[in-house]
Chains A and B, each alone.
Chain A
């Protein structure tokens, strides 16, 4: 069971990665679990892949852009695979 609060990992692997750089290191809340999907980091190279849990994670604009946020409580929702997320303890 994924914790509600998660942080996106800051790794920068080469290749076909679907985790946007602007969200790496940012903390958000799981908006919903989407189920398991093929790992694009393998699929892009024609390799057979196991499936990974995919989540919709909601980030506030202030979390992403800090004081430069246009409006702090507006949000970005993005789909992030489980292997990019660390659960945060309360």
Chain B
């Protein structure tokens, strides 16, 4: 199945978002794994490791299951204010 991950902060160097092909019912850990290759190209593997994933309502647990067409966001460490 395909999911979209919107990119923020340091991940913006990879664009606005990534479309990932992942196994059906993939969980967040699998989404994280699917992002390792693009993250590596931008030397962002350490940042990927400490980032969280979210939808528009909540930050998601690693075990949370995704569905076809889901739009997620990757949240690297925050620095607002």
- Are A and B subunits of one complex? no
**B residues at A contact (CB < 8 Å):** none
